[in-house]
Amino acid sequence: MTAGVLIKNKQANFEYFIIEKYEAGIQLMGTEIKSIRAGKATITDGYCSFIGNELFLMNIHIAEYSFGSFYNHAPKRERKLLLNKKELKKIQGKLKDVGMTIIPLAIVINERGFAKVEIGIAKGKKLHDKRDTLKEKDAKIEMDRRLK
């Protein structure tokens, strides 16, 4: 993914094992894209859910545009993700496994000016897995410190 504006879900790799990643478009209103370009979005608590055969992004907070009038958007509305039918069926098949979920990993603006969201099919980590992740992170920091 190319980076224009980058809004990351920093907790995703700590809380989940990311199994597969996809890039999807988001169906946005005019004031939402302006807020995203200003970096006023939070995807930390977000998740994706199927409604019918369509995939929606839930619980994402995109702040109201400060220069918007009564045309402003609702900050926590459901937003449709734009994927091919083939990709949607593949994702639905992967979700049949126990403990699998879809989480947003990042939102970027591509070179054409469109907002894209990187979503990941993920499985939640247990407490001991999180401890292992912290140990690996500390070991990497220590090695980098000694190499300097």
pLDDT for residue 75: 73
pTM of the model: 0.82
Handedness of CA 83, 88, 90, 91 (dihedral sign): positive
Model pLDDT for residues 33-58, shown as the tens digit of each residue: 888 888 888 899 899 999 988 999 99
Q: How many CA atoms lie within 13 A of 22 on its CB side?
A: 22
Domain membership flag for residue 130? yes
Tell me, yes or no, whether 134 lies in a domain. yes
Q: If you average pLDDT over every residue of the chain, what do you get? A: 87
| Domain of 83, in residue numbers | 6-147
Residue 69 has pLDDT above 70, yes or no: no
Specify the number of domains making up the chain: 1
Tell me whether residue 133 is in a domain: yes
- What pLDDT does residue 103 have? 94
CATH number of the CATH domain containing 142:
2.40.280.10
3-state secondary structure 82-118: ECCHHHHHHHHHHHCCCCEEEEEEEEEECCCCCEEEE
Q: Which residues contact 33 (CB under 8 A, 6 or more apart)?
A: 115
Q: What is the pLDDT of residues 80-137, one digit of tens each?
A: 999 999 999 999 998 888 889 999 999 998 888 888 999 999 998 888 888 988 899 8
Q: What is the reported pLDDT for 119?
A: 94
